[in-house]
Chain A
């Protein structure tokens, strides 16, 4: 299945075999953590047991079935999609902005989403009951998604002139827009009551606890569509590493690459933030780590980022449920607690490469 070329045929500096091997390894790791995640939770239902019973055609207790199918499985799938989205979006943004520290936050996606969430948490009560009733519990995710898209469309519009998008303008306008959004958000927070403030804080920390099939079925199509678009970007992003002019010279349609990158990233992160809140660090740490191991070739970086991102998020979710069991911590705390020091360590041990 994985054909690794014998060394004498390979040329030095060709790292395709590493990308391929990483794919396989990460796939196995993902399956391992997925099973672990299914088997873990306060109810004590054992995944191998349930699976074995199912396969053998034995009766499975209804409670076990409900726990597995309606609680743990949607949570696992949501975690995988969100992790993959955040990591791939990070890799795509870094390629587009030609900067290893870029993340989807630069598109205004995160600030737009948080404004949407804040507004719906604090002002949602002011909506006429009929309208609030339509959205029900989904008011926050829907508002977050709408907020992220509006912010992104505004930024894209500002940065595009005569059919060409200026990445540098987008970056700077993104910072200005984020500041303006933060001011509006601050104003709304000023009027929040104590219960709303608590909700806001938890939303900001991110969590997979509220996962359900309904939420997943709303977010999954957007996320999957966005993820499916990303492999088309691999060669374009490789070309862009040499600058926009050279990318065009080697045959890349630069403007189309930019547009797809921006739309797909905004879709994937917008939907992810909507279902899980603000989960930081995955988008920067995962692609960075992979670049150190398999190199920056986007043909391998994107797919491996998706796999590692999904794995990392599931692992973080498992930890978040273990630390204070039977309660659970917001997952954003876990990713930051592990991601921060880890990233620092990676940076410090690679100073030579970074400073060069």
Chain B
């Protein structure tokens, strides 16, 4: 079971942004999309969620054409954490999470249990009564993650694996919560779900990703197992600066001292 994009071309306004991207993300793995600013990571993710219709190419979710799936059906199979979120009225955290359950027929008792559990997972167990707009940026990001998580709570459903599509899930988090969230994503994948995350932190990518897609100017310049993509040559060329990979002591975790050579 997988989420695949075939030869995706996306045009935004009159501006071609993706020029034929292929990606195969497998359930059970954490797939990271990396690449410099403006390389098309968010655009690719938006096409994978079904939000953007590609001009050419197709996206299939567990073998079904994304364009044919109804919003409710889609909402029960994949959840999305956008790069930026807005909120127009003073909802509480509990009410935001409730919005994540819109596509589900669950009663109040179930909903309460899910909301409690999801908030505990993102380490905000005492925050359900707070107003979202009065939270810090990192707390807001974790509430949004909980909102997405609750939507596809069980990693595997009757229709196969469910998917979490995360656009920079750790961008405003402190180091401890970066690890919390990455572990959460990894565990979701281990339990049989699919996870696709747009990442800027290459160390975290090295630690947690199973599969990496490297974007560059609207094209995938490399795709494969993490250690085959995170190489001196590919990264230095993609990001336009000199980057060196070092091996961490102990097991096979990679470490990337930023700007290894000055």
Contact = CB atoms under 8 A, between A and B. Distances in A.
B262 interface: no
B102 A248 contact: no
Contacts of B108: 5, 16
B100 A250 contact: yes
A295 B109 CA distance: 21
Interface in A246-265: 246, 248-254
B138 interface: no
Contact-residue size bin, chain B (C-beta under 8 Å from the other chain): 35 or more
A253 B71 contact: yes
A304 to B, nearest CB: 15
Interface in B102-151: 102-103, 108-109, 112, 115-116, 128-130, 133-134, 148, 151
B75 interface: yes
A251 B88 contact: no
B134 A356 contact: yes
Contacts of B133: 356
B239 interface: no
Contact of B90 (A99, A245, A246, A353): A353
A14 B74 contact: no
A74 interface: no
B184 to A, nearest CB: 19
A235 B102 contact: yes
A291 interface: yes
A251 B87 contact: no
A5 B109 CA distance: 10
B88 A241 contact: yes
Contact of A251 (B72, B85, B95, B98): B72
Central interface residue in B82, B109, B116, by most chain A CB within 10 Å: B82
B248 interface: no
Interface string A99-138: 1100000000000000000000000000000000000000
Interface string A292-307: 0001110000000000
B76 interface: yes
Nearest to A352: B134
B96 interface: yes
A169 to B, nearest CB: 15
B36 to A, nearest CB: 23
Choose among B51, B79, B88, B102 the residue with the greatest number of A CB atoms under 10 Å from its CB: B88
Interface residues of A, number: 35
Contact of A98 (B51, B88, B90, B112): B88
A257 B112 CA distance: 27
Contacts of B112: 9-11, 14
A11 B79 contact: no
Contacts of B74: 251
Given A248-B71, A249-B49, A353-B90, A13 B85 contact: no
A100 B51 contact: no
A12 interface: yes
Contact of B85 (A10, A11, A14, A242): A242
A221 interface: no
B62 interface: no
Contacts of B79: 249-250
B51 A11 contact: no
A297 B72 contact: no
Nearest to A292: B90
Contacts of A254: 71
A253 B50 CA distance: 13
Contacts of A39: none
B88 to A, nearest CB: 4
A243 interface: yes
A239 B80 contact: no
A12 B102 contact: no
A15 interface: yes
A238 B74 CA distance: 18
Given A14-B94, A353-B90, A251 B99 contact: no
A234 to B, nearest CB: 10
B192 to A, nearest CB: 21
Nearest to B99: A238
Interface of B: 46, 49-51, 71-72, 74-76, 79-80, 82, 85-96, 98-100, 102-103, 108-109, 112, 115-116, 128-130, 133-134, 148, 151
Given A241-B99, A248-B50, A297-B98, 17 more contacts: A11-B115, A11-B129, A12-B94, A14-B95, A98-B89, A235-B102, A238-B98, A242-B86, A245-B51, A249-B49, A249-B51, A249-B75, A250-B100, A251-B72, A252-B71, A253-B71, A291-B89
| Nearest 5 interchain pairs by C-beta | A12-B129, A251-B75, A251-B103, A13-B94, A13-B92
30 contacts: A12-B92, A12-B129, A13-B92, A13-B93, A14-B128, A15-B95, A16-B108, A95-B89, A235-B102, A238-B99, A238-B102, A239-B99, A241-B99, A242-B85, A242-B86, A242-B99, A243-B86, A245-B80, A245-B82, A246-B80, A246-B82, A248-B50, A249-B80, A250-B100, A250-B102, A250-B103, A251-B75, A251-B76, A296-B90, A296-B95
